[in-house]
């Protein structure tokens, strides 16, 4: 079963499912735990996000052209959320139905695109407040769209979703520091470097005694956002909780690994969870999903 009923619309959602399966890897199996129509809706949201990400990550186009393409995506997305998708774009056709069925707020998509635009060119943030705003754009907005699809009964859930999104994105930023540095992107704020007498270049070199206290401070801050959002899982519809739990456990597992081995943030290898750990998370999430049905 898919979220859409007509043959053409069902084919559009199936294309989104394939994109999610091929590109989301670990998340695909977590999303499969969702009931319908929430499962297909999340496939559509992921496919839309992948489209935006690919525009920014495509180094073959100059920044000005990428900016134009992102703004065109914005226009198409607004039209889809208003129930007028382009006929030749299956992702937009699927998004139109999802946005209507779950009453999605188009401002979430505006925020995601604004965050993608911020990634064009050389990225440097002066203050943590600036970085937090970026995290809200690219990650918290996704969380808000997700809980709109999953459903929730507690008015505090949107604030918790914002904090969980910030935690996820800060986890990504720490894990990917070396890769992002090589692409001219430094997300960690300059005020933090200044406080420790460091620079991004010194951190990337990875051989200074001031680095470990700096990284511990970063990890502590990320953990504070996980704590702030710790009760979000209990606020969403029970049948959707296993997916949110599994996603959170994966990200927190990465952060715990960085806590144990902070040097890997700058020296590598890139922090990953073992196949055994991911399998254990998946098994527990499946058990939870069966218990909630």
Distance CA 228, CA 41 (A): 27
Distance CA 194, CA 246 (A): 36
CATH code, domain carrying 163? 1.10.600.10
Do 129 and 114 share a domain, yes or no? Answer: no
> pTM of the predicted model, to two decimals?
0.94
Q: How high is the mean pLDDT in each 10-residue block of the chain (293 residues)?
A: 58 94 85 94 97 88 93 98 92 95 97 95 92 98 98 97 99 96 94 98 94 98 98 96 95 97 93 90 84 65
Q: Has residue 88 been placed in a domain? A: yes
Q: Has residue 2 been placed in a domain? A: no
245 lies in which domain range? 122-293
- The reported pLDDT for the residue numbered 87 is 83
3-class DSSP state for residue 233? helix
Do 128 and 263 share a domain, yes or no? Answer: yes
- The reported pLDDT for the residue numbered 101 is 94
Cβ density class 240-270: b for 16+ within 10 Å, e for less:
bbbbbbbbbbbbbbbbebbeeebebbbeeee
Do 282 and 198 share a domain, yes or no? Answer: yes
Q: Has residue 69 been placed in a domain? A: yes
Q: Has residue 1 been placed in a domain? A: no
Distance CA 125, CA 143 (A): 23
């Amino acid at each position: 079963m898919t979220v859409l009923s007509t043959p053409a619309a069902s084919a559009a959602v199936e294309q989104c499912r394939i994109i999610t399966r091929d590109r989301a890897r670990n998340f695909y199996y977590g999303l499969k735990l969702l009931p319908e129509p929430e499962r297909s809706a999340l496939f559509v949201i992921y496919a839309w996000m992948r489209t935006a990400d690919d525009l920014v990550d495509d180094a073959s186009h100059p920044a000005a052209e990428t900016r134009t393409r992102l703004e065109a995506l914005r226009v198409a997305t607004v039209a889809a959320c208003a129930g007028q998708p382009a006929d030749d774009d299956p992702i937009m056709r699927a998004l139109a139905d999802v946005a209507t069925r779950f009453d999605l707020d188009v401002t979430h998509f505006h925020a995601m695109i604004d965050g993608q635009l911020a990634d064009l060119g050389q990225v440097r943030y002066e203050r943590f407040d600036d970085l937090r705003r970026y995290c809200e754009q690219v990650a918290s907005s996704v969380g808000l769209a997700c809980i709109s699809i999953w459903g929730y009964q507690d008015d505090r859930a949107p604030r918790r979703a914002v904090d969980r999104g910030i935690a996820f994105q800060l986890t990504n930023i720490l894990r990917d520091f070396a890769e992002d540095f090589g692409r001219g992107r430094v997300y960690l704020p300059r005020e933090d470097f200044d406080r420790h007498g460091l620079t991004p270049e010194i951190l990337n070199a990875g051989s200074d005694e001031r680095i470990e206290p700096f990284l511990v401070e970063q990890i502590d801050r990320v953990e504070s956002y996980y704590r702030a959002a710790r009760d979000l899982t209990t606020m969403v519809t029970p049948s959707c909780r296993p997916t949110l739990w599994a996603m959170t456990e994966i990200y927190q597992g990465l952060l715990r690994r960085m806590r144990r081995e902070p040097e890997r943030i700058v020296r590598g290898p890139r922090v990953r969870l073992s196949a055994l750990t991911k399998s254990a998370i998946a098994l527990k999430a499946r058990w939870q999903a069966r218990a909630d049905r």
